[in-house]
C-alpha cells in the first residue's frame, strides 16, 4: 500500500526526495528540542537558587557550603548538577568546580552568573547583594522569555497550520473541483509549479514561526518535512478530488 501511494507521486520526484530527507532531518530536529527543554528548565530554576544562596550567605555561611546545601534542596536537574559537581571536586579548587558546573549546564545564563560570582569572590565584593540582584535580574528575564514563548507559540503553530496544511488543501480543492484531470484537463505542469510554490511557502512559514519563538535554527531541521507535507497534501488532494 505504501509503495502504491508513493507510485502515485512518481511524476513529482522532488516531493519523494524531500519526504525522505524530511524524515531524516526530523530525527535531527528532536535533540535540539530536548536540549532546549533541559536548558530552559535549568534557567527557570536559577533565580530561586540564587535567592536561596543570597539568604544563606547573608546568614553567615560560606558560599561553598551554601551551594552544596542548596544544591541538595533544589529539585530538578540544576540541583542535581550542582551537587554532583561540588561533591566530585575533591582534589580541585572551588573555582574549578564552579566552572565545571557552568559548562555542564550548557546554559549561557548560568555561565554568566558563575563568571560574575567568581569575579565577585576574587574582589571580595558583597556576595549577598550581588546574588540577590542577580536573582531578581534573571527572574525578570526568564519571565519575559516565558511570556514570549507562551504568547507566540500559539501564533507560530497557527502559521504552520495555515500555510503548510490549510493553503495547499484549499487550492487543491479549487483546482480539483474546477479543472479535474479526469475530465481531460492537462494540469501536470500546473501542479508541478504550484506544489513547488507550496513547498517554498511552507519553508517560509515554518522559518517565520521558528523565528517568532526565537528558535529559527532548531526549526531548520523541520523545514524539509513541512515542505514535503504541503506538497504531498496538495498533490494528494488534487488527485483525490480531480481524479
Partner 1 sequence: MRKLDEKKEILYVIRTLDVLMSSGVGLEAALHTIGKGGYGIISSDFSSLMKKLSSGKSRGLEFEVKALMNKAESEGYRRLLNTMYTNLTQNTDLIETLRKQGKRMEEDRNESVNKYIEELGGVPETLLSIGMIGPIILAIVGLVPQILGDGAEAIIGSIDQGLINSIVNGGLMFTLIGMMLIGLKAHTKDPGL
Footprint of partner 1 (CB under 8 A): 108, 111-112, 115-116, 119-120, 123-126, 130, 133-134, 137, 140-141, 144-145, 147-148, 151-152, 155, 158-159, 162-163, 166-167, 170-171, 174-175, 178-179, 185-187, 189-190, 193-194, 197, 200-201, 204-205, 207-208, 211-212, 214, 216
Report the C-alpha gap between 45 and 35 in whole angstroms.
16
| Long-range contact set of residues 56-61: C-beta below 8 Å, sequence gap at least 24 | 57/127, 57/128, 57/131, 58/128
Q: How far is the CB of 51 from partner 1 (least distance, A)?
A: 16
Nearer to partner 1, 75 or 184 (CB): 184
Contact 18, 227 (CB under 8 A): yes
Report the C-alpha gap between 66 and 89 in whole angstroms.
16
With residue 176 as reference, give the H or E element that holds it: helix 167-178
Concatenate the DSSP letters of all residues of 151-162 into one string: HHHHHHHHHHII
Residue with cell 530536548: 34
Nearer to partner 1, 84 or 137 (CB): 137
Report the C-alpha gap between 156 and 212 in whole angstroms.
7
Nearer to partner 1, 62 or 87 (CB): 62
Nearer to partner 1, 78 or 212 (CB): 212
Nearer to partner 1, 72 or 147 (CB): 147
Angle at CA of residue 55, ends 51 and 57, nearest 5°: 115
Q: How far is the CB of 213 from partner 1 (least distance, A)?
A: 9
Cβ-proximal residues to 172 (8 Å cutoff; 6+ apart), any chain = 233, 234, 235, 236, 237, 238, 241
Q: How far is the CB of 177 from partner 1 (least distance, A)?
A: 11
Q: How far is the CB of 152 from partner 1 (least distance, A)?
A: 6
Q: How far is the CB of 40 from partner 1 (least distance, A)?
A: 12
Q: How far is the CB of 39 from partner 1 (least distance, A)?
A: 14
Nearer to partner 1, 68 or 201 (CB): 201
Amino acid at each position: 500500500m505504501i509503495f502504491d501511494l508513493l507510485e502515485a507521486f512518481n511524476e513529482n520526484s522532488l516531493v519523494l526526495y524531500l519526504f525522505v530527507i524530511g524524515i531524516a532531518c526530523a530525527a535531527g530536529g528532536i535533540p535540539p528540542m530536548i536540549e532546549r527543554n533541559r536548558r530552559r528548565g535549568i534557567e527557570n530554576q536559577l533565580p530561586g537558587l540564587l535567592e536561596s544562596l543570597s539568604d544563606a550567605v547573608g546568614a553567615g555561611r560560606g558560599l561553598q557550603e551554601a551551594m552544596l546545601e542548596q544544591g541538595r534542596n533544589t529539585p530538578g536537574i540544576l540541583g542535581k548538577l550542582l551537587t554532583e559537581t561540588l561533591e566530585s571536586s575533591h582534589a580541585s579548587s572551588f573555582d574549578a568546580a564552579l566552572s565545571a558546573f557552568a559548562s555542564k549546564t550548557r546554559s549561557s545564563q548560568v555561565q554568566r552568573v558563575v563568571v560574575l560570582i567568581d569575579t565577585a569572590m576574587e574582589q571580595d565584593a558583597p556576595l549577598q547583594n550581588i546574588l540577590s540582584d542577580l536573582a531578581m535580574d534573571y527572574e525578570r528575564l526568564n519571565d519575559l522569555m516565558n511570556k514570549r514563548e507562551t504568547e507566540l507559540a500559539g501564533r507560530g503553530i497557527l502559521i504552520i497550520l495555515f500555510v503548510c496544511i490549510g493553503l495547499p488543501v484549499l487550492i487543491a480543492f479549487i483546482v480539483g473541483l474546477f479543472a479535474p484531470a479526469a475530465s481531460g484537463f492537462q494540469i501536470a505542469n500546473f501542479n508541478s509549479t504550484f506544489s513547488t510554490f507550496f513547498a517554498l511557502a511552507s519553508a517560509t512559514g515554518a522559518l517565520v514561526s521558528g523565528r517568532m519563538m526565537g528558535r529559527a535554527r532548531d526549526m531548520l531541521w523541520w523545514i524539509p518535512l513541512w515542505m514535503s507535507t504541503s506538497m504531498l497534501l496538495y498533490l494528494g488532494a488534487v488527485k483525490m478530488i480531480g481524479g
